[in-house]
Structure 1
Amino acid sequence: MFAVRSLVGLVLSGVLLVAGCSSPAPPPPVPSAAARVSSVPAPVSSSVASSVAREPVTVVLDPGHNGGNARRPDVINAPVPAGRGETKPCNTTGTATDRGYAEHAFNWDVAQRVGSLLEAQGVRVVYTRADDTGVGPCVNERAAIGNRAGAAAVVSIHADGATSAGARGFHVAYSAPPLNAAQGAPSVELAEAVRSGLLAGDFPLSNYLGSDGLAPRDDLAGLNLSERPAVLVECGNMRNAAEAATMSSVDGRARYATAIASGVVAFLREHAGF
């Protein structure tokens, strides 16, 4: 910042004295970035290399369903656009473990943990819902939130309810065939990055849906209507006893969050100049 002395007129002598300007301070050094992908890197320094602040990268997190959906069937059963000329119900109640731990609560908890980890890296996080007690929003509005935010990545977090007790493992869905450029390679690469994060977190690939942990889908409204790179993560099967136990534990949800956040950070570094 320049220090400027005011000009002082010396009336008696008729001499004008002009004060000089001090030199600006040099910018602080740029901190080095962490390069690990298998776990969420340590928070980066708030120092910046120039006087112009970097625009934060935005990630939209979509915790599936909502805690109040069951009390408003009139709202969540109303048809809304689902892409590809189809409609679907506004939302659903989701599934639960055999002991009653609800998917909407799992989704909300994991999304909050992922968001905290991303924010520690300087990511701007937007959620599609503000709590776990409300109703909706509808699936088309969830997609619209990501579009309006100009998100570098949209990650919808869910857990499955496959009835076969032997069905287990995670899969990551993306819209296919793509309806726009963002649903093409960017969404596939986001799916692959999240898959890598979950594999590094020692979570098993799905043995009942998708292939090698990836599931191209044409029936998921949130993905079909997205104009940003978007995926939906089914973290596992809540009807499988072992996975239900993991999802019901604080430590298990923290592991899921760390794995998902790691994948998102890896994608942002590769594709969003993060």
Structure 2
Amino acid sequence: MSYTGPDFDPPPSRRFRRGPLTVALAALVPGALLGWAVYAAVGGSGDDGGDASASAGASASASSPAPSSAGASPSDESDESDESDESDGKKPSASPDSGSASASSSPSASAPAGTGPLKGKVVVIDPGHNPGNFQHTAEINRQVNIGTNSKECDTTGTSTNDGFSEAKFTLDVAHRMRSLLEGQGATVKLTQDDDRPFGPCIDERARIGNKAKADAVVSIHADGSGTGNRGFHVILPGPVNSGAADTRAIVEPSRELGERIAGNFVRATGNGPSNYVGGGTGLVTRKDLGGLNLSTVPKVFIECGNMRDSKDAALLTSGAWRQKAAQGISEGIVSFLRG
């Protein structure tokens, strides 16, 4: 998704409540980012002038820890419309997708929860942008109410310069996450699994998580920003109370979820936070995304990298790297749900 639309809100200052959970969270992201900084200084490629996500390709693979508590290795809201994606108006061609994880036999539905630390927990994964949106531009351009104003139902998403689409990327990462989280005993539901012609619209995506009474919802995306803009960022809901939107109850838990994901994403992938939004924190707060505004359960978005930058694109198109991304996001969810 491209961020040519509304300005980002600056990351809010830390809360002053100093309970044990808050203290732990306060240490989590800085520690992870410090670890990334040491990695970049000692083992990083250093070939991109100190960009926040300099640790690409093989270096990232070498520095990544072995899979941990999120389980064994094995789609928007993209509000995304909300995100004013740059999609060039053309349908990206399918690219070879080495290492892709297969979908379960029942699209969008979770397999029966097993035993594990997340038994009884419900996780909704929201893969941004349906691959079929390109054939349904009239439908996805329909306006829907997001509380503060109206936005398009959805967008097509972006793609790499070689035609690997954001929609394919998000579904692949979602499938990998589903395997990891179900292995931990969670009940997992996808908002879409390329099992419908287009959509769902951003308001419906929010309702899916609400109806499921999800303990955590994560919307998966990749950005479409300019060349040289690199790294991931996690988008948090800001306080909104307008029309059908009231995020006040989820702002704090969503921030905790986002911080956990950011810290684990750094450790799992070896890649640093965005060098173009978030002030190096990897965290951005927004009040203009319907998928967040209409959620009544903890929810965040993650932009895993920038598809329009060749170095980030090399990672996003790698099945091995997507497994690391899925691992990092999943471990962040596990950490959040286990407290």
TM-score in terms of structure 2 length: 0.63
Q: Are the counterparts in 2 of residues 172 and 195 from structure 1 also a CA contact under 8 Å? A: yes
Check if 1:204 corresponds to 2:232. no
Amino acid at match of 2:321: G
* Distance in 2 separating the partners of 1:154 and 1:47: 21
Summarize deviations over 1:109-137 as a string: whole Å, max 9, x none: 00110111000000000100032773000
1:74 CA drift (Å): 1.2
| Gap runs ≥5 in structure 1 | 1-36, 49-53
Q: Are the counterparts in 1 of residues 70 and 330 from structure 2 also a CA contact under 8 Å? A: no
The match for 2:81 is none
* Distance in 2 separating the partners of 1:258 and 1:224: 27
The match for 1:170 is 232
1:247 CA drift (Å): 0.7
Root-mean-square deviation (Å): 2.0
2:260 to 188, 193, 196: 193
| Gap runs ≥5 in structure 2 | 1-31, 33-64, 73-113, 241-245
Check if 1:41 corresponds to 2:69. yes
* Distance in 1 separating the partners of 2:272 and 2:158: 20
The match for 1:112 is 175
The match for 1:141 is 204
The match for 2:304 is 235
Higher relative contact order (CA 8 A, sep 6+): 2
* Distance in 2 separating the partners of 1:132 and 1:194: 27
Amino acid at match of 1:206: S
Equivalent position SS for 1:257: helix
1:43 CA drift (Å): 5.0
Distance change >3 Å, CA 149–CA 168, structure 1 → 2: same
1:182 CA drift (Å): 3.6
Distance change >3 Å, CA 43–CA 167, structure 1 → 2: closer
The match for 1:56 is 120
Identity of matched residues, %: 46
Q: Which has the larger radius of gyration?
A: 1
Check if 1:246 corresponds to 2:274. no
Amino acid at match of 2:193: A
Q: Are the counterparts in 1 of residues 171 and 193 from structure 2 also a CA contact under 8 Å? A: no
Runs of 4+ in 1 over 4 A off after TM superposition: none
* Distance in 2 separating the partners of 1:55 and 1:253: 25
1:159 to 222, 229, 240: 222
TM-score in terms of structure 1 length: 0.78
Summarize deviations over 1:187-213 as a string: whole Å, max 9, x none: 000010110111112121001112300
1:55 CA drift (Å): 6.1
Q: Are the counterparts in 1 of residues 119 and 184 from structure 2 also a CA contact under 8 Å? A: no
Q: Are the counterparts in 1 of residues 315 and 321 from structure 2 also a CA contact under 8 Å? A: yes
1:42 CA drift (Å): 6.4
Give runs of aligned pairs for residues 121-140 of structure 1, distance below 5 A.
121-131=184-194, 134-140=197-203
1:183 CA drift (Å): 2.2
Q: Are the counterparts in 2 of residues 175 and 218 from structure 1 also a CA contact under 8 Å? A: yes
* Distance in 2 separating the partners of 1:182 and 1:265: 21
